[in-house]
Structure 1
Amino acid sequence: MTSETSPSPSATPDDELLARLDAADRLPGAEQLRCRSYALLGAGPGSTVLDVGCGAGRAVAELTERGARAIGVDASARMIAVARRRWPAADLRVGDAGELPLPDGSVDGYRADKVFHELADPRRALAEARRVLVGGGRIVLLGQDWDTVVVDSDDPAFTRALVHARADLTTRPRAARGYRALLLDAGFADVAVEVHTAVLTGPTALPLVTALAETTAAAGALPRERAGRWISEQRERAATDRLFLALPVFTASATAPC
């Protein structure tokens, strides 16, 4: 799940997104999952890899440390500016997943983490992935299924409604469960899917579950008063180490046709 925090009154959408991405990078298991995606890419010395939706550029920097020539692309010019400040030597470009600023057959690996649930046209993005990948190149997609967030609560009916209401605020909330079909339809081979479930408890998980309710209530999808009671329950659970959150993350990998 893309981590959510309560925005400050003066925060811009990009500021809020950056805060969420930074928080997600710090979650238990996040570094191991990124490393797994690099291994599935086959990233290493001599390879050129593309990170689409690179955000603040952490994956680009880590791929570079592995010896790969890493390129980061993000649709947000402000996000790319932040990434350039953090990683001045990195190759970072403004560009859209559906129209990548790269020539045909120019990369050995394509990676997109927490991206496809925001895309209105994922098939176009995969067509672009095929275009820029060399024959036999690798693609790795990572993301959560927004309908499968698990939170323990004394009010399971409201929790169920909350999870689905939050999912409905996302462009393509169930994109991750469709990775395999999308890759097969786009002509990729050797398609494989893994599920990595992050289990978060106590104060670590509290900002995630409270923001889940706050975001949904702020959008008018659920009553604020009931969301407030649910948040109070979760705070009590966090204080007594009884809060439980599970986030299944799907990782799909495949090979571009030669």
Structure 2
Amino acid sequence: MSSTAPTSTASLIRLLDAADTLPGAAELRAHTYDLLRLSPGESVADVGCGAGRAVAELAGRGVRPIGIDPDPRMLAAAGERWPGLDFRSGTAGELPLDDGSVAGYRADKVFHEIADPAAALAEARRVLAPGGRIVLIGQDWDTIVIDAGDPDLTRTIVRARAGTVPSPRAARGFRSSLLDAGFGDVTVEVKTAVFTDRLVPAVLSGFAAAACAAGAVEREQADAWLAEQSHRAEADRLFLAMPLFIAAGVR
């Protein structure tokens, strides 16, 4: 990562790096690679590649990954970290790929950020060769579980945070969306990520800020909620669970 990169980008990359190294994260990524069922030398698009870790891991499996992201700063960081790999500017709705040019398509925690998931799936179908496989993984923002003394307030805060996401419930619709887009052999499974430290304080602060900004809770309520979570952190009692939905299908 260049030292001239904006602080916001550097902070986001640090957050992504922390998430990528949590217990079980590498195994979960590996599972999505397995679901692609790629043979050596076949090409795969990793859409929303960020700083490129998955692209590098896929390359290590002997396939030809193409990392695609709309953020030029992320692409710069990816190119710096993983020189020689293929990173391209593009969005899920407009991929820089020819029709039927890839054997695999992967999007990790991306579809909740897309305002029109159906259009993105149509684009995925366009670039996939017949028989190519698609793998999606993402969280449902309405089903995040946080242990707290006031469950009603917590539910309000979680719901308010979900309201800031373009498609907060895209993951629960993966199966229907893939079928509607014409994919076959669709499967869905759920893995639950559990967080008890490291990322939790920053995540909870962001949730509270979003709820206040939306007018869902008063600042005093949010501060009290965060204070309780701080006490939980000091006592090693923080708990956040996030169901991750993994869907796969065939073009």
State whether TM-score is above 0.5: yes
Deviates most, 50-59 or 116-125: 116-125
Match of 1:150 among 135, 145, 165: 145
Correspondence 1:108 to 2:103:
yes
Q: Which residue of 2 aligns with 1:169?
A: 164
Helix, strand or coil at the partner of 1:27: coil
Provide the rounded CA distance (Å) in 2 between the counterparts of 1:17 and 1:203.
Answer: 14
Give 1:93 shift: 0.2
Provide the rounded CA distance (Å) in 2 between the counterparts of 1:233 and 1:25.
Answer: 27
Are 2:18 and 2:199, in contact at CA under 8 Å, matched by a contact in 1? Answer: no
Provide the rounded CA distance (Å) in 1 between the counterparts of 2:69 and 2:150.
Answer: 39
Render the CA deviation track for 1:218-252: whole Å, top value 9, x for unaligned: 55543222111111111111111211111100000
Render the CA deviation track for 1:89-120: whole Å, top value 9, x for unaligned: 11000011111111111111000011111111
Percent same amino acid among aligned pairs?
Answer: 59
Give 1:23 shift: 2.9
Report the count of equivalent residues.
247
Q: Which residue of 2 aligns with 1:49?
A: 44
Correspondence 1:191 to 2:172:
no
Correspondence 1:75 to 2:70:
yes
User: Residues 242 and 253 from structure 1, CA distance in 2 versus in 1: closer, same or farther, beyond 3 angstroms?
Assistant: same
Render the CA deviation track for 1:50-91: whole Å, top value 9, x for unaligned: 100101101000000111101000011121111111111110
User: Residues 131 and 202 from structure 1, CA distance in 2 versus in 1: closer, same or farther, beyond 3 angstroms?
Assistant: closer
Render the CA deviation track for 1:125-154: whole Å, top value 9, x for unaligned: 111111111111100001000000001101
Q: How does 1:1-258 map to 2 (within 5 A)?
A: 14-202=9-197, 205-218=200-213, 220-256=215-251
RMSD: 1.8
Provide the rounded CA distance (Å) in 1 between the counterparts of 2:193 and 2:87.
Answer: 29
Provide the rounded CA distance (Å) in 2 between the counterparts of 1:216 and 1:159.
Answer: 10
Helix, strand or coil at the partner of 2:51: coil
Are 1:28 and 1:198, in contact at CA under 8 Å, matched by a contact in 2? Answer: no
Helix, strand or coil at the partner of 2:211: helix
- Which amino acid counterpart does residue 167 of structure 1 have in structure 2? A
Provide the rounded CA distance (Å) in 2 between the counterparts of 1:238 and 1:223.
Answer: 23
Helix, strand or coil at the partner of 1:246: strand
Helix, strand or coil at the partner of 2:249: strand
Deviates most, 221-230 or 97-106: 221-230
Q: Which residue of 2 aligns with 1:3?
A: none
User: Residues 20 and 221 from structure 1, CA distance in 2 versus in 1: closer, same or farther, beyond 3 angstroms?
Assistant: farther
Give 1:203 shift: 5.0
TM-score (normalised: structure 2): 0.92
User: Residues 148 and 219 from structure 1, CA distance in 2 versus in 1: closer, same or farther, beyond 3 angstroms?
Assistant: same
Provide the rounded CA distance (Å) in 2 between the counterparts of 1:160 and 1:102.
Answer: 41
User: Residues 202 and 14 from structure 1, CA distance in 2 versus in 1: closer, same or farther, beyond 3 angstroms?
Assistant: closer
Provide the rounded CA distance (Å) in 1 between the counterparts of 2:199 and 2:16.
Answer: 15
User: Residues 53 and 121 from structure 1, CA distance in 2 versus in 1: closer, same or farther, beyond 3 angstroms?
Assistant: same
- Which amino acid counterpart does residue 66 of structure 1 have in structure 2? R
Helix, strand or coil at the partner of 1:138: strand
Question: Which stretches in structure 2 are left out of the alignment for 5+ residues?
Answer: none
- Which amino acid counterpart does residue 226 of structure 1 have in structure 2? Q
Q: Which residue of 2 aligns with 1:7?
A: none
Give 1:46 shift: 2.0
Give 1:217 shift: 2.8
